[in-house]
Amino acid sequence: MANTAKPCKLALIQLAVSADKDANLANARTHVLEAASKGANLIVLPECFNSPYGTGYFPEYAETLADGPSVKSLSAMAKDAKAYLIGGSIPERDPTDEKIYNTCTVYNPEGKLIATHRKVHLFDIDVPGKIRFQESETLTAGRQLTHVDTDFGKIGVGICYDIRFPEPAMIAARQGCFAMIYPGAFNLTTGPLHWELLQRARAVDNQMYVAACSPARDLKAAYHAWGHSTIVGPAGNVIETMDENQGIIYADLDLKTMAEFRQNIPLTTQRRFDLYADISKVKP
């Protein structure tokens, strides 16, 4: 794990998202610059921040990374903020096969696009009488895990439903990431049940920082986001959280304390992979 001297101030922007893409980009910009003015140098936007969240909207709002307005705008925001920007996610159209992905783009403080993560676990659930959502109706799943090198150290990126799967976070931690960042949009059924629990679980299992950044709740929208963007520390402790409204939360991520904590309770070196090396071969 990189133990850097450069302090990392994380900001999660819980953005109010509308059906107007230009307005969403402008709102994101205002908040990114506000976070930077408060000293944040790692700034995160929510899942699907430039479009309403819904399978019917994805094809309509999808854009290519090469020449879409969102990438241009996010790159300028990162550059003007002089901060790393984990640009939430956007519906991305791949011009080679016309498939659509739920994609997070990441920028360095010079505004260069340094990583993309296409959501690898699509949100396909059916809880009778509560919520049915099938991202796979219009989206395709990504095919790789994403780790990003920054001046602070390495960071793993997932998107929302990806957090339910412990393996990517464990792989990220074992490969030296100090944080997992999840732009996400849980809902009023699964949010109260699992949103915070999953973040704390990923954090305590891997003794790493975990942050999840949601859109603000809009009860007039088709999908009601849970909100409650949250930052969790390597001991599984909630450092900062919020309600369902638009706003920003901040935390200083302290890698020295994290390293000490990992030394005190050395889970990584105590793992018994001789007993559970390849769980994919265990029949459910």
Ligand X SMILES: NC(=O)CCC(=O)C(=O)O
Q: Which is closer to ligand X, CB of 36 or CB of 159?
A: 159
**Taking the complex as a whole, how short is the minimal distance between the CB of residue 3 and ligand X, in angstroms?**
32
Given a contact cutoff of 8 angstroms between Cβ atoms, the answer to whether 97 and 18 are in contact is: no
Which range of residues in 24-32, 167-175, 184-192, 236-244 is near ligand X by CB under 6 A?
184-192
Applying CB under 6 A, does 55 fall inside the site for ligand X? Answer: no
Angle 257-262-266 from CA coordinates, rounded to 5°: 160
Binding mask 116-155 for ligand X (x = CB under 6 A): -------x--------------------------------
Rama region for 250: left / alpha / beta (φ>0; ψ in -120 to 50; rest): beta
- Spatial CA neighbour of 208 closest among 35, 39, 2: 2
Q: Which is closer to ligand X, CB of 78 or CB of 86?
A: 86
Among 152, 161, 182, 209, binds ligand X (CB under 6 A): 161
Q: How many angstroms separate the CA atoms of 8 and 151, rounded?
A: 9
Q: Which residue has the tokens 């819904």?
A: 54
Longest dimension (CA), the chain: 53
**Taking the complex as a whole, how short is the minimal distance between the CB of residue 34 and ligand X, in angstroms?**
25
Applying CB under 6 A, does 209 fall inside the site for ligand X? Answer: no
Applying CB under 6 A, does 61 fall inside the site for ligand X? Answer: no
Residues 6+ apart with CB under 8 A from 100: 58, 59, 62, 91, 92, 93, 94, 138, 139, 140
Applying CB under 6 A, does 58 fall inside the site for ligand X? Answer: no
Looking only at residues 31 through 50 of this chain, which bind ligand X when binding is defined by CB under 6 A? 47
Q: How far apart are the first and last CA of the chain?
A: 33
Tokens at residue 69, please? 């307005």
Among 41, 116, 190, 246, binds ligand X (CB under 6 A): 190
Among 50, 105, 187, 246, binds ligand X (CB under 6 A): 187
- Mapped to the 3 state alphabet, what secondary structure does 179-208 carry? EEEEECCCECCHHHHHHHHHHHHHHHHHCC
Among 11, 185, 213, 249, binds ligand X (CB under 6 A): 185
Applying CB under 6 A, does 196 fall inside the site for ligand X? Answer: no
**Taking the complex as a whole, how short is the minimal distance between the CB of residue 104 and ligand X, in angstroms?**
12
Half-sphere exposure of 265 (CA within 13 A, CB side): 11
Q: Which residue is nearest to ligand X (CB)?
A: 190
Residues designated catalytic: 47, 119, 160
Tokens at residue 173, please? 């931690």
Applying CB under 6 A, does 160 fall inside the site for ligand X? Answer: yes
How many residues bind to ligand X according to rule CB under 6 A? Answer: 10
Among 164, 171, 205, 221, binds ligand X (CB under 6 A): 164
Q: Which is closer to ligand X, CB of 169 or CB of 253?
A: 169
- Spatial CA neighbour of 245 closest among 258, 260, 259, 229: 229
Rounded to 5 degrees, what are φ and ψ at 20?
A: -100, 105
The contact set with ligand X (CB under 6 A) reads 47, 123, 160-161, 164, 185-187, 190, 194
